[in-house]
Structure 1
Amino acid sequence: MSTRVDFYQLSRDPVEQVAVMLARKVMQAGERLLIVSENPGQRAAISKELWRGGAEEFLANGQADAAHAEKQPILLSDSMDAVNGASMVMFVDGKWRADALKFDRALLLFGAEATEAARGLWRELDSVEDVTREIHKQDENGRWRAGA
């Protein structure tokens, strides 16, 4: 199995906004998503942002410890257990989990404080078979660009 790992270096927009943008793209691709954070407050804030936007724009989601978690297209959790059958995982707390390589795609969102750890992970994944990596950075206009 091959895993794609996308690194998103946060420099302008808050993690909640970036998580919603990426979750929307995952849903448009017809996939399910697991969003992971150790911080329950962060998970709640992201859930709230996912529900915002009216009937045509909201992104249905739920917490992993709630009823019917397995039915949620987007599941928020503090663990790597994708009971919703997600093929993609997003780390919004900037912390990598090795179990990410069991998913088709992993998205690591990180801020300035986690840059060195992300660089170390990039180098570490360089030698892992069947892993492709891509870095995404935001320009001054808010557009995301892939590159080095």
Structure 2
Amino acid sequence: MAEVFFYHLTQSPLEGALRLLVEKSLGAGWRVAVRGRTDAMLDRLDAALWLGDEAGFLPHGRAGGAHDADQPVLLTTGAEAANRPDCVLAVEGAEIATGELASLKRAMVLFDGYHPQAVQGARDQWRLYKDAGVKAKYWSEESGRWTMKAET
């Protein structure tokens, strides 16, 4: 069963943190699904993964294409990802059901620390996983670097 890592964003923009986590996941040999709630958010993340910085393009695609199953990283609003991910990164409050964790190596929840609804949503998800006996780790970047602050 996957561990769930919570990333409390207070310094890094979502696009930068997502890019770093996707790079690390691909480096581990994992297939990734980035799950959001809206097409507008996925459009923003799609552009960030295409353009990026000097590091360049990260291979990915948007769900609904002819080659979804072949994508190393698939951006989707759905709970099912055709690329059979090893890792799911949830943004903008998208949920990862506890039942999904059995088939994953890692799940990640990225949330905006300056958005009260996002913080509350992450707290609710933390409690859900804790009550289900899922191992979870909470990472904060308040000091300017990522530090693990809590775990179940």
TM bracket, shorter-chain basis: 0.7 to 0.9
Partner of 2:140: 137
Please state whether the residue corresponding to 1:21 is helix, strand or coil: helix
Residues 23-38 of structure 1: matches in 2 within 5 Å?
23-38=22-37
Select 1:146's aligned residue among 145, 148, 151: 148
- Kindly indicate whether residue 92 of structure 2 is the aligned counterpart of residue 81 of structure 1: no
Q: Which moved more, 1:33-42 or 1:120-129?
A: 120-129
Partner of 1:16: 15
Partner of 2:64: 65
Please state whether the residue corresponding to 2:123 is helix, strand or coil: helix
Partner of 1:101: 101
Please state whether the residue corresponding to 1:82 is helix, strand or coil: coil
CA contact (8 A) 2:15 2:48 kept: yes
CA distance in 2, matches of 1:52, 1:73: 17
CA distance in 2, matches of 1:116, 1:41: 22
RMSD of aligned residue pairs (Cα, Å): 1.9
Report the TM-score, using the length of structure 2 for normalisation: 0.85
CA distance in 2, matches of 1:55, 1:69: 26
CA distance in 2, matches of 1:138, 1:56: 22
Please state whether the residue corresponding to 2:107 is helix, strand or coil: strand
CA contact (8 A) 1:89 1:100 kept: no
Please state whether the residue corresponding to 2:37 is helix, strand or coil: coil
The one-character-per-residue Cα deviations of 1:5-58 (angstroms, maximum 9, x if unpaired) are: 011111122211111111011011111000011211211111111122489642
**1:74 shift after superposition:** 0.3
**1:140 shift after superposition:** 4.0
How many residues are treated as equivalent by the alignment? 145
Q: Which amino acid aligns with 2:64?
A: D
Distance change >3 Å, CA 42–CA 139, structure 1 → 2: same
- Kindly indicate whether residue 43 of structure 2 is the aligned counterpart of residue 44 of structure 1: yes
Partner of 2:119: 115
